Structure 1
Amino acid sequence: MVKMVSFPSWSYHFRPWNLADFQKIEMLDHRQKRLQMEPLKLNDMPPSSETLDTLEFRRVVCKGVFYYERSIYIGPRSRSISGVTENGYYVITPLMPIPGDADSVQSPVLVNRGWVPRSWRDKSFEVSQDGEKSSSTDVVPVQQNERSWWGLFRSKKQKAVEAQAPAITYVEVIGVVRGSEKPSVFVPPNDPNSGQWFYVDVPAIAVACGLPKDTLLIEDINENVNPSNPYPVPKDINALIRSSVMPQDHLNYTLTWYSLSAAVTFMAFKRLKPKNSRR
């Protein structure tokens, strides 16, 4: 009897949780409307917190030069391919302005280029370490250098251009403006000193790259992947308007709990109602 009485109150306890989750409908609708807008060019938009609030989930086009040596890997992140799960990482790389090009970004931005397998990251680390051993300039900390690493980047690339013209490759990124992730309690804290990044913290990543905290993060959504060079794998734009539990599922849950609550409450009422005694 106690169980029968306690069940309705227990099930009604879950109603606020289901109803509060209906806010996802408005959130996903907001994202979908922004993603359907025409892409914007970032060549004349300075980074700022107001820009993020205005442009988050807007598609943008930005042109520049990737500074691959400053790439940061976020993970591990799993990816399912034909039913097989493989661990890997998201790779975030600074996109630098092209000197004298008005169509390129005028301030550096961070680009989440997509998912790469663990072997891809490990190989990149080996190349980076070999480069540090062969160049004393690369190992100078940013804090001890009078110039920002952006200036260092430009001077190094200019020297490369003088030696070999194809050394610089300009790219055009089609992406979506994103903010930082909100990690769960099970995700360990980032450790920038050791290069361990478990979740996307845009201001911290920007500082680690020597950029201002308000640097924008663009998530690459380009669908034209070169089969001969499939990595990084850009994020599927449809994933931005999906949730692990969609609002339609929440509606079904709510209707189920309401029905169960009403049915069990009625049964409890009938069971506890005193019967009229015949005289």
Structure 2
Amino acid sequence: MTRTRRAAFAAAALIAALGLAALGVWQIERRAWKHELIAAVDARIHAPPVAAPGPDRWNAVTARDDAYRRVTASGIFRHDRETLVQAVTERGAGYWVMTPLETRDFTLLINRGFVPKDRRDAKTRAAGQVAEPVTVTGLLRATEPGGAFLRSNDPAAGRWFSRDVAGIAKARGLGKAAPYFVDADAAPNPGGYPVGGLTVVRFRDHHMVYALTWFALSALSLFFAWRLWRIREA
């Protein structure tokens, strides 16, 4: 290998080392952001509940600033328009029961909780189909449009794989529906179903591992650059 080619390879290795180091720094910054997000979500979950955002605030509701905020709303459930969304939980496979709550000013989709497959039919959990006005407390959740991995929602067939607020509202003919839904808390429902309070709050946090990987690759590239330069000098 000529000295010119060795110099070119050394320069390329040095540039690669700088790029890999930059990726490591980026992962450190991502880790700091993720920890801030986790702290913010934890604070929302444990804060006193506030009124569910009404129509005048819908445009300001975002997943970044409002997801997992404890909210409360009062109204009457429209059980005749409930939607079952396929779910896998710590209790096994079954469905989320998404029921419209008609408040004074708007309609709010409530994820009342989980039911196993043998409780799919509302008649098997009739005691939980509360008719009187209720107050629901839970966590504000961002809509889940489209469906699940490799499985698209099929409104015409009544098959739902994600809690798609706009899709469910359209399929069920809900007027003035909030663009988010609420996961009901663990307050027991009559008859025991649906089972609320099963929200899983978990964030992947592997940024330090990624950062160390990028820094290690950067160090390796820097070593190769140094070796090539030493050979050139020799």
Contact 2:106–2:177 (Cα < 8 Å) also in 1: no
Aligned: 1:208 with 2:149: no
The amino acid across from 1:40 in the alignment is V
Amino acid at match of 2:115: V
1:118–1:175 distance in 2 versus 1, CA, 3 Å: same
Equivalent position amino acid for 1:257 in 2: W
Which residue of the partner structure matches residue 156 of structure 1?
A: none
**Residues in 1 aligned to 2:69 and 2:225: alpha-carbon distance in whole angstroms:** 54
2:115 corresponds in structure 1 to: 116
Name the Cα RMSD after superposition.
3.8
Report 1:30-109 matches (<5 A): 30-42=40-52, 45-46=54-55, 49-50=58-59, 52-53=61-62, 56-75=67-86, 77-81=87-91, 86-97=92-103, 105-109=104-108
Q: Does 1:254 align with 2:211?
A: yes
Tell me the amino acid that sits aligned with residue 79 of structure 1: T
2:152–2:161: 8 Å Cα contact kept in structure 1? yes
Q: Secondary structure at the match of 2:178?
A: coil
Paired residue type of 1:95: L
Alignment of 1:218-229 (within 5 A): 218-225=181-188, 229=192
Cα distance in 2, alignment partners of residues 185 and 232 from structure 1: 22
Contact 2:97 2:111 in 1 (8 A): yes
> Aligned-pair distance for 1:60?
1.4
Native 8 Å contact 2:108 2:181 kept in 1: yes
Please report how far the alpha carbon of residue 224 of structure 1 lies from its aligned counterpart in structure 2 after TM superposition.
3.4
Q: Which amino acid aligns with 1:65?
A: I
1:269 is matched with which residue?
Answer: 225
**Bigger proportion of residues as strand:** 2
Length-normalised TM-score, structure 2:
0.70
Give, in whole Å, the separation in 2 of the partners of 1:168 and 1:221. Answer: 17
How many positions carry a matched residue from both structures?
A: 213
How far apart, in 1, do the equivalents of 2:144 and 2:179 lie?
Answer: 14
Structure 1: gaps (5+ residues): 98-104, 129-166
| Residue matched to 1:147 | none
State the alpha-carbon separation in 2 of the partners of residues 68 and 46 from structure 1. Answer: 23
State whether residues 93 and 112 of structure 1, in contact with CA within 8 Å, keep that contact through their aligned partners in structure 2: yes
Any idea what SS the aligned residue of 1:211 has? coil
